[in-house]
């Protein structure tokens, strides 16, 4: 039977942050899966081991699986560790008060709270997982961790030597007349620049056409604005990367999203890519 070279098993108390740990490992290049039934773990590992770039695998297993607390310890000792010698078991926990608050904030039901109060369910789960916890290579109490601190701790422990946190920069150009894009981190309004729409020869063209670019570059204040824009974005990007933000979305808007925002967004994206950043450029309204 085939198996990956390295396996991280994430388990622990419900509401302790398992999904955040898994998403961080996914950002580090792990092949991840959540809530696998125990009887499917071995077939799953056999399958993914043949996938390209699936030599490092992470799975989340917990009490959502029937009889997890009684079945998993022996399975882990007798099957999983022998199948993948390089296996790390992470057990996450938190105080009852913190877990109760997290469930209150998300309004999601605890998997063991169907017929009992939430605190009783948390206590029952903690008691049931005593043996599972004893097997762990790493026990993390996330009570005092922010999401960013938890991510930083996992990055510190599991990123490969020389592997740096990466940030995908998505630049979305758009027209304000068609509404704002969803979930922007930074927004720049370039409607103060003269609009090529009112130049008959430029109206049918877009901001990727050289004639439109040349027109904008000839406008007073354009060069100074773009220099300041690029300097600002270049200045803040290392900070976002340091905070391990995996995705940064920059919106650049003009009236119709066809000329000014497109020209500036395309130039900004090209120059950031030239500086070594991973960049995706989306001209949402250019062809309307």
Same domain, 16 and 80: yes
Give the pLDDT of residue 162.
Answer: 60
- Count other C-beta atoms under 10 Å from residue 288's C-beta: 11
3-state DSSP call for residue 256? coil
Nearest to 157 by CA among 30, 3, 15, 12: 30
Does any domain span residue 232?
yes
Cα 79 to Cα 238: distance, rounded to the nearest angstrom? 44
- How far apart are alpha carbons 57 and 55 in whole angstroms? 6
Per-residue pLDDT tens digits for 75-101: 999 999 999 989 999 999 999 999 999
253 within some domain: yes
Domain match, 121 and 182 both: no
Q: In this structure, is residue 182 part of a structural domain?
A: yes
For residue 42, the model assigns a pLDDT of: 92
The reply to whether 288 falls in a domain is: no
Mean pLDDT estimate for the chain? 90
In a domain, residue 85? The reply is: yes
In this structure, is residue 250 part of a structural domain? yes
Contact in structure between 30 and 58 (CB atoms under 8 Å): yes
Q: Residue 283 pLDDT more than 90?
A: yes
User: Residues 110-139: pLDDT tens digits?
Assistant: 988 888 899 999 999 999 999 999 999 999
Is the same domain home to 17 and 50?
yes
The pLDDT of residue 114: 81
Residue 1 pLDDT level (bands cut at 50, 70, 90)? low
Tell me, yes or no, whether 210 and 124 share the same domain. no
Are 153 and 174 members of one domain?
no
pLDDT at 252 over 80: yes
Based on the fold, state whether residues 179 and 136 are members of the same structural domain: no
Residue positions counted in the chain: 288
| Domain end position, chosen among 121, 139, 158 | 158
Number of domains in the chain: 2
Checking if the pLDDT of 244 tops 70, the result is no
Give the domain-ending residue among 158, 184, 218. 158
- Same domain as 30, residue 133: yes
Give the whole-angstrom CA distance, residue 96 versus residue 126: 9
pLDDT band at 210 (very low <50, low <70, confident <90, very high): very high
- Do 23 and 152 lie in a common domain? yes
**pLDDT level of residue 52 (50, 70, 90 thresholds):** confident
- The reported pLDDT for the residue numbered 166 is 67
Find the DSSP H helices in the chain.
18-27, 38-48, 68-75, 81-83, 96-106, 118-128, 130-134, 147-158, 210-217, 222-242, 260-274
Higher local confidence (pLDDT), 163 or 61: 61
State pLDDT tens for residues 3-49: 788 999 999 999 999 999 999 899 888 999 998 899 999 999 988 87
DSSP, collapsed to helix, strand or coil, labels residue 32 as strand
**Same domain as 38, residue 154:** yes
> Both 79 and 103 in a single domain?
yes
Nearest to 59 by CA among 111, 126, 75: 75
One domain, residues 231 and 253: yes
pLDDT at 108: 83
Burial 225-262 (b: 16+ CB within 10 A, else e): bbeebbeebeeebeebbeebbeebbbbbbbbbbbbbbb
Residue 1 within any structural domain of the chain = no
Give the predicted TM-score (pTM) of the model: 0.63
Domain end (from 158, 190, 212)? 158
* 110 and 187 both lie in a single domain: no
CATH number of the domain where residue 11 is located: 3.40.50.300
Domain that holds residue 11: 6-158
pLDDT computed for residue 10 by the predictor: 96
Report how far apart, in Å, the C-alpha atoms of 130 and of each of 70, 198, 204 are: 10, 72, 69
pLDDT tens digits, 146-186: 777 888 788 888 877 665 666 789 999 999 999 998 889 99
Residue 163 lies in a domain: no
Tens-place pLDDT, residues 185-195: 999 999 999 99
- C-alpha R_g of the chain: 25
């Amino acid at each position: 039977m085939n198996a990956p070279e390295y396996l991280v098993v994430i388990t622990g108390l419900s509401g302790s942050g398992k999904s955040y740990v898994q998403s961080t490992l996914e950002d580090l290049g792990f092949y991840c899966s959540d809530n696998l039934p125990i009887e499917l773990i071995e077939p799953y590992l056999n399958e993914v081991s043949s996938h390209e770039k699936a030599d490092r695998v992470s799975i989340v297993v917990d009490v959502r699986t029937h009889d997890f607390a009684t079945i998993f310890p022996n399975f882990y000792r007798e099957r999983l560790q022998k199948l993948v010698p390089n296996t790390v078991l992470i057990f996450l926990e938190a105080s009852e008060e913190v877990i109760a608050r997290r469930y209150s904030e998300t309004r999601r039901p605890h998997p063991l709270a169907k017929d009992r109060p939430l605190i009783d369910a948390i206590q029952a789960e903690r008691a049931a997982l005593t043996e599972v916890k004893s097997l762990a290579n790493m026990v993390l109490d996330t009570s005092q961790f922010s999401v960013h601190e938890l991510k930083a701790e996992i990055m510190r422990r599991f990123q490969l030597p020389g592997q740096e946190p990466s940030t995908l920069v998505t630049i979305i150009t758009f027209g304000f007349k068609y509404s704002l894009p969803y979930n922007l981190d930074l927004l720049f309004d370039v409607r103060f620049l003269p609009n090529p729409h009112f130049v008959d020869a430029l109206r049918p063209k877009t901001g990727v056409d050289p004639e439109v670019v040349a027109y904008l570059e000839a406008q007073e204040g354009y060069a100074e604005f773009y220099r300041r824009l690029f300097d600002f974005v270049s200045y803040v990007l290392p900070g976002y990367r340091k905070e391990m933000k995996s995705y940064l979305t920059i919106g650049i808007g003009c009236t119709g999203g066809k000329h000014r925002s497109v020209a500036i967004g395309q130039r900004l994206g090209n120059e950031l890519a030239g500086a070594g950043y991973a960049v995706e450029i989306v001209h949402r309204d250019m062809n309307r």
